[in-house]
Amino acid sequence: MRFALALGNGYSLLMTNFQAYEKLKLAIANAPAIPPCQTTDPEIWFSDNETGVHDYRVAKIFCKTCPVRNECLEYAVIANEVHGIWGGLTYKERRKLDPKGWLKR
């Protein structure tokens, strides 16, 4: 899947899922602090569909302090991640992002 990342100057950059993942991976490796998702229980970031627990408040609080939040969100949108908190947003919240201002399919 490819997406065009709007650069704000009238140009766009095509980015694949793989390229977005590599960008996120590099950002994590070079971050000034370890991203919270790397050191916490994965259940914080992903809901449990069997029990119906969908409390993302803790994950969202952690995301506010994350040094790679933007790269994480960018990856999730490009890869169309349908589960979990990425870049501080749920899937429904990510779908509401204005494609004209950020990403275009």
Q: Is the pLDDT of residue 80 over 50?
A: yes
Q: What is the pLDDT of residue 10?
A: 47
For the stretch 51-67, pLDDT in tens is 556 678 889 999 999 99
Q: Is the pLDDT of residue 69 over 80?
A: yes
Q: What is the pLDDT of residue 11?
A: 44
H-helix segments, 9-80: 17-30, 57-64, 69-79
User: How large is the average pLDDT for residues 85-101?
Assistant: 83
Considering its fold, how many domains does the chain have in total?
A: 1
> Which residues have a Cβ under 8 Å from the Cβ of 3 and sit 6 or more positions away?
14, 15, 77, 78, 103, 104, 105
For the stretch 2-60, pLDDT in tens is 445 554 444 445 678 889 999 999 999 999 999 999 999 888 898 765 555 667 888 99
Q: What is the pLDDT of residue 1?
A: 42
Name the residue range of residue 93's domain: 2-104
